[in-house]
Amino acid sequence: MATPIEDAQVQQFPLEIALKPAQKQEFDSSLTVHENTIETLTSLLEKDYPSPAMCDFFNQYCRDSARSRIVIEMFTPAIERILKHNTDFVKYMRMRMLVQEYLLALDSQNADSDVVENFIKRMHGSTTFCPFLLVLSNLISVCLSGIDELFQYRKNVHFQDKTNCTVYEEKTDSQLVCYAKILQRISTFYDWRLHLALVLQSVPFPYLALGHASFMKILKNVVKSFAADTRCEVHRTMLAIRENQKGWLDIFCLGGIFCDDDDDGEMLSLTLSTLISCCCRRKRFLLNINKLISSLLLHASRENQSCIDTLCAMIELNAVENPTHVLEIILTLQSTPSGLEKYANVCEKQRALERIRQNGGPRELALSSRFTDSHLEILLSEGSFGYLECLNLAFTKVTSACAEHLIKLPGLKNLNFWSTRFGDAGLDLLSEHLHRLEVLNLCETSITNKCLTYLANMKTLRKLNLTSTNTSLSAIIALKKKLPALEECDIRYVNP
């Protein structure tokens, strides 16, 4: 027969035979026997995964001879194969344990202090995007499970001898730092950072890990990479995934578990700078950080630009919960040249806003198809629109950016975006400010299911048009249950 044998059990048969001599002696063989067995096994593993028994044997060798060059020379191909192609570490737990022991053994090598980082770099590859999709999720799984196991075991182990306890803690501390360094190296890759940020947004570490100085010092660099990333979906992971949970902003910046006062507000400044300038210049976010007022005032008095911008945004959007803090903010802003300039700009915007909201002007307004966001800004700045209730922007060239101007018209009841480039980001802002909106036409816009969360906050809506949008029928049905005042919802041509 010319057809090769592909049966998995047949392929495993030579491996089991080669492993039996070492198994019979229960790992008490000489180092030479172990190394000869490993050389035989690894040469047979070119097209197959190690069995559970082989994983146990390899694990033991990694623990007993972590600094042996055999680890790098013989184990690396098998480990790379596992990381690139394994799809279920829950089912193949011993393979996950083997990867953990291998990485810890690499970290113990004397030859090169960066051997683990070099391995992670090689697994990613030299291209901008890693060609092996499973490598990232497998590495993260190995690190998170390893960290959790270390602290679970720490809680259960007890030493009567203080010396043994110290030795054990030093060993586990080095292992913990190894996992943290792997996460840090992962965060340096552009294509891996988003997935890592989303996984870590829920802060999936044991509580004791958040109080471990060495671990958190390295993890802080990981979180910094999230805060500095220009992609909205990345730096938003600094915020808690739910309102009743703590996020990285709370942990590192709001007097949390590991708030480092020695950085002189560096982490706070970096986070606020990215969030405020991009996606979180929102009243909801600003109200949430009112508990940070004292820190903001302190750093703003030292001319920290991010804190100055944040305080100005809080004044501009009326997002200061305690009225007595308003005067403190104004006095702090006026105490520095940059703060005084920013506050003067806020005052000018508020005067312009008052002119727009003065009584008078039309009740209904329809703009031509040539109108853009900048045209709308100019129009609103040149007259009073205090009576404006209905605004038709259908077929114009406006985008989500026009929301910055529309929130100046809180009296709006009817708003038409038919066939414009208006999207989710703009609707997020409108939902916070237009509390009298009754009729909203989003037909043929780029909104998605994400925007339905914002629509659920618009309790006064009576009529809603979502025809030809990227929303799904099931999500719209769920939305209708949250809007008791909704009488009519046009949902033709939506996704099933």
Sign of CA pseudo-dihedral 139, 145, 151, 156? negative
Q: Are residues 290 and 390 in the same domain?
A: no
Last residue of a domain, one of 308, 333, 356: 356
Q: Is residue 28 part of a domain?
A: no
The pLDDT value given to residue 88:
86
For residue 59, what are the contacts with CB-CB under 8 A and spacing of at least 6? 94, 97, 98, 101
For residue 326, what are the contacts with CB-CB under 8 A and spacing of at least 6? 315, 320
Q: Is residue 148 part of a domain?
A: no
Compute the distance between CA of residue 304 and CA of residue 338 in angstroms, rounded to an integer.
9
Q: Is residue 293 part of a domain?
A: yes
Q: Are residues 374 and 480 in the same domain?
A: yes
Q: Is residue 303 part of a domain?
A: yes
Q: Are residues 415 and 328 in the same domain?
A: no
The pLDDT value given to residue 160:
67
Q: In what order do the strands lie in the sheet with 488-490?
A: 364-366, 390-392, 414-416, 439-441, 463-465, 488-490
Q: Is residue 59 part of a domain?
A: no
Q: Is residue 428 part of a domain?
A: yes
Q: Are residues 300 and 383 in the same domain?
A: no
Residue 351 belongs to what domain range?
Answer: 281-356
Burial of 197-215, coded b for 16+ CB within 10 Å and e otherwise, reads: bebbbebebbeebbebeeb
- The amino acid at 164: N
Q: Are residues 465 and 419 in the same domain?
A: yes
Dihedral Cα 476, 482, 488, 494, nearest 10 deg: -10
In 3D, which of 34, 58, 60, 61 has the Cα closest to residue 45?
A: 58
Q: Are residues 324 and 370 in the same domain?
A: no
Which pair of structure tokens corresponds to residue 29? 């063989």
Q: Are residues 379 and 438 in the same domain?
A: yes
What's the per-residue H, E or C state across the chain? CCCCCCCHHHHHHHHHHHHHHHHHCCCCCCHHHHHHHHHHHHHHCCCCCCCHHHHHHHHHHHHHCCCCHHHHHHHHHHHHHHHHHCCCCCCCHHHHHHHHHHHHHHHCCCCCCCHHHHHHHHHHCCCCCCCCHHHHHHHHHHHHHHHHHHHHHHHHCCCCCHHHHHHHHHHHHHHHHHHHHHHHHHHCCHHHHHHHHHHHCCCCCCHHHHHCHHHHHHHHHHHHHHHHCCCHHHHHHHCCCCCCCCCHHHHHHCCCCCCCHHHCCHHHHHHHHHHHHCCCCCHHHHHHHHHHHHHHHHHHHCCCHHHHHHHHHHHHCCCCCCHHHHHHHHHHHHCCHHHHHHHHHHHHHHHHHHHHCCCCCCCEEECCCCCCHHHHHHHHHCCCCCCCCEEECCCCCCEHHHHHHHCCCCCCCEEECCCCECCHHHHHHHHHHCCCCCEEECCCCCCECCHHHHHCCCCCCCEEECCCCECEHHHHHHHHHHCCCCCEEECCCCEC
Q: Are residues 370 and 352 in the same domain?
A: no
Q: Are residues 440 and 478 in the same domain?
A: yes
CA distances from 146 to 117, 182, 258, 308, 332 (A): 17, 12, 21, 41, 47
Q: Is residue 302 part of a domain?
A: yes
Q: Are residues 448 and 430 in the same domain?
A: yes
In this structure, the chain runs to a length of 496
Q: Say how many domains are in the chain.
A: 2
Last residue of a domain, one of 331, 356, 381: 356
Which pair of structure tokens corresponds to residue 304? 């920290």
Compute the distance between CA of residue 398 and CA of residue 436 in angstroms, rounded to an integer.
22
Quick check: 407 and 429 in contact, CB under 8 A? Answer: yes
Q: Is residue 334 part of a domain?
A: yes
Last residue of a domain, one of 338, 356, 374: 356
Q: Are residues 308 and 373 in the same domain?
A: no
Domain of 417, CATH number, reads 3.80.10.10
Q: Report the predicted TM-score, pTM, of the whole model to 2 decimal places.
A: 0.77
Which pair of structure tokens corresponds to residue 211? 């109080």
Q: What pLDDT tens digit does each residue of the chain (496 aa) get? A: 344 444 445 555 555 555 555 555 544 555 566 666 666 666 666 667 777 877 887 888 888 887 777 777 788 888 998 999 888 888 889 899 999 999 998 888 765 568 888 999 999 999 999 999 999 999 999 999 999 999 888 777 766 677 767 777 788 888 999 999 999 999 999 999 999 999 999 999 998 888 888 999 999 999 999 999 999 899 999 988 887 788 898 888 766 556 654 556 788 888 888 888 877 777 888 888 888 888 889 889 989 999 999 999 999 888 999 988 999 999 999 999 999 999 999 999 888 888 887 878 899 999 999 999 999 999 988 888 888 999 999 999 999 999 989 998 888 999 999 999 999 889 988 988 898 999 999 999 999 998 888 898 899 999 999 999 998 888 888 888 888 888 888 777 667 6
Quick check: 123 and 132 in contact, CB under 8 A? Answer: yes
Angle between helices 93-107 and 133-156 (to 10 degrees): 80
Quick check: 226 and 253 in contact, CB under 8 A? Answer: no
Q: Are residues 455 and 383 in the same domain?
A: yes
